[in-house]
Structure 1
Amino acid sequence: MRLGSRLRGVFPRGWCRSARWWITRIRDPALSIGTAVATVVFVGEIMRAVRHRDEPRTLAHLSSTFEGYVAGLLVNSTGLVVLVAMAIEDRLPVVLTALLAGWCLLNTAISATVFVVVARSRIRQPAAWDELDFVEQHAPKYGRPPETIEEYRAQQLQE
């Protein structure tokens, strides 16, 4: 794929005036950050992921991104280590330490659950995930028509 095609995929004609483009570009990182900090908010989404653990299409369309769950796992694990270090040095009150540790443990458990469910699905059904990854990478975005062979194929697979 040429550089021009890639740039058109990311920055379609009229992108600077497109509210849809701006909302999408702001929403995705915001959801990732929100997921990393407060994974507990997405409990319904996680329950849906566990219920549909054998359906890659459902897992691929989680409302918050998978990267957010991985970041949540890393951030909350690190937060737990920092809390333990601070508790050893007696820098925080016991009640605050217990509350923050509970928050970090809950977020870590939820993030780990999503990570395991998606990893298990990717290992057991690689062909379905390859197709979904191809569609995500090559499908025309923001309502523009397909221009390359890959985009036509991705659009057919999407339907």
Structure 2
Amino acid sequence: MRLGSRLRGEFPRGWWCSARWWITGIRDLSLNTAAAVATAVFIGEVKRAVRHRDKPRTLARMSGTFERCVAGLLGNSAGLVVLATMAIEDGLPVALTALLAGWCLLNSAISATLFVVVARSRIRQSAAWAELEFVEQHAPKCGRPPETIEEYRAQQLQKQASE
């Protein structure tokens, strides 16, 4: 995908005066921050992913949640390492260390669960995921008409999926 078409998808015409674009960006930024610090907020999404683990379309709609949980897994794993280092070096109180370690482990477990569910689905149903990724990459965005053969094909696949 060319840089121009990628930028057009991210920054549609008039983006700087679009309240919807700004609100969506701020919402995504706050959700990403919450996921990195407190993945437990997304326990409902993880339960839904486990419930629909054999439905790639449902899991694909949760792609933002998946990315947030992976970031939460990395962030909380790093937090555990920093916490262990601080406990050894500075001699943190045992209660505080246990509380923070429990919080990091809970968030890591939730993130790891979602990671395993999506990875299992991607391995077992690779053809369905390939189709979904093709549609996501090539579908026309922001209501503009399709301009290339790939965009027409992606639009047709979207229509077939919604029927």
TM-score over 0.5 for the alignment?
Answer: yes
Return the structure number with greater helix share.
2
Q: Distance in 2 between matches of 1:34 and 1:56?
A: 25
Q: Distance in 1 between matches of 2:137 and 2:155?
A: 11
Higher mean C-alpha deviation, range 103-112 or range 147-156: 147-156
Shift of 1:158: 1.5
Shift of 1:3: 4.2
Which stretches of structure 1, 4 residues or more, deviate above 6 A after TM superposition?
none
Contact 1:77 1:108 in 2 (8 A): yes
5+ unaligned residues in a row in structure 1: which ranges? none
Name the structure 1 match of 2:32.
Answer: 32
CA shift digits 1:44-99 (9 cap, x unpaired): 11000001011111111127432211111111111112212222234322111111
What CA RMSD, in Å, does the superposition of the two structures yield over aligned residues? 1.8
Contact 1:53 1:117 in 2 (8 A): yes
Cα 1:2–1:88 shift into 2, 3 Å: closer
Shift of 1:109: 0.3
CA shift digits 1:104-149 (9 cap, x unpaired): 0000000000110111111111111111111111112222222222
Letter in 1 for 2:135: V
Name the structure 2 match of 1:43.
Answer: 43
Aligned residues: 159
Q: Distance in 1 between matches of 2:82 and 2:137?
A: 38
Contact 2:45 2:65 in 1 (8 A): no
Name the structure 2 match of 1:85.
Answer: 85
Letter in 2 for 1:119: A
